[in-house]
Amino acid sequence: MKLFFNFGQYFILIKRTFSKPEKRSIYVNRIFEEITILGIGSLGIVAIISVFIGAVITIQTAFNLQNPLVPLYGVGVAVRDSMILEFSPAIISLILAGKIGSSIASEIGTMRVTEQIDALEIMGINSAGYLISPKIIATVLFSPVLVTFSMFLGILGGYVFGLLTGVVTNYEFIYGITYQFIPYNVMYALIKAAFFAFIFASVPAYHGYYTKGGALEVGRSSTKGVVYSSVLILAFDFILTQLLLT
């Protein structure tokens, strides 16, 4: 019962979020603001995690490929495919759900409990549109950029650490990452990324927007927003993989 109620309320909020804005120029500025805060602000964490995961996949795969019958360029293939197919779109989205999702939920939740949302409504402004739509648009636009960045850095990390540790040679790695490369996979990853971005922006926004009470409840909304969006991302990862890759 509660689930259906949340579901309905969520869709009503999304509908209100994307109704006609009061003043387009202000909304456009808000989108750029949010891209700066939510998108550019996430470059650092995405970079660090991607480089290290790329490196770890390289070393582990090389370690597991000590069978002389399997060619070492398999390391390059493994890094490339794990980064593009799963790590960059899904795991980075989960990490962003934690970082961006919690910041969205707590910002909007705080605005709710301190009556800032009421103040917007009283001015005759559609608070959902003004607050939430720029965040969703910014993350959906920018998340594919972050994911592309992550793929690139992951493979680069694998390459650099692979060479430094000597588990793979330059030639094998480069041969591996170009071996039977399917460009559609990148497309598939970016579609997933945009879809997941919609989830980890809108679900925490929903929980923040309907926060009741005080500071304690803001924290709870933030946790709920992150947990629900993570579960939804995993579920849709499964569904989209089925739909897009088969």
Partner 1 sequence: MIQINNISKSFSGRSIVNNISFTFASGKVNMIIGESGSGKTTLLRCMVGLNEIDNGSVLFNQRDFFKLDLKGKKQIRKDIGMLFQGGALFDSKTVEENVMFPISMFTDLSESEKRDRANFCLQRVNLVNANKLYPSEISGGMKKRVAIARAIAVQPKYLFCDEPNSGLDPKTSIVIDNLIKEITEEYNITTIVITHDMNSVIEIGDQIMFIHNGANWWQGTKEEILVTDNKEVNDFVYATKFMKDLKSKF
Interface mask toward partner 1 for 117-156; x: CB under 8 A: -xx-xxxxx-------------------------------
Cβ at position 137, least distance to partner 1 in Å = 18
Closest CA to 154 of 230, 90, 97: 90
Report the residue number, 23 or 170, with the smaller CB distance to partner 1. Answer: 23
Cβ-count burial of 233 within 10 angstroms (0-12 exposed, 13-18 middle, 19+ buried)?
A: buried
Report the residue number, 70 or 119, with the smaller CB distance to partner 1. Answer: 119
The pair of structure tokens assigned to 152 is 């690139």
Report the residue number, 33 or 60, with the smaller CB distance to partner 1. Answer: 33
The stretch among 22-30, 68-76, 174-182, 210-218 that binds partner 1 (CB under 8 A) is: 22-30
The stretch among 20-28, 38-46, 72-80, 136-144 that binds partner 1 (CB under 8 A) is: 20-28
- Determine contact, residues 182/124, Cβ cutoff 8 Å: no
For position 26 contacting partner 1 by CB under 8 A, the verdict is: yes
Interface mask toward partner 1 for 81-110; x: CB under 8 A: -----------------------------x
Calpha distance 99→226 (Å, rounded):
9
Cβ at position 46, least distance to partner 1 in Å = 24
Report the residue number, 36 or 170, with the smaller CB distance to partner 1. Answer: 36
Calpha distance 58→80 (Å, rounded):
10
In this structure, what DSSP letter does residue 65 have? T
Cβ at position 9, least distance to partner 1 in Å = 15
For position 114 contacting partner 1 by CB under 8 A, the verdict is: yes
Closest CA to 209 of 96, 102, 101, 111: 111
End-to-end CA distance of the chain: 35
Calpha distance 116→86 (Å, rounded):
39
Q: What is the binding site for partner 1 (CB under 8 A)?
A: 22-23, 26, 110-111, 114-116, 118-119, 121-125
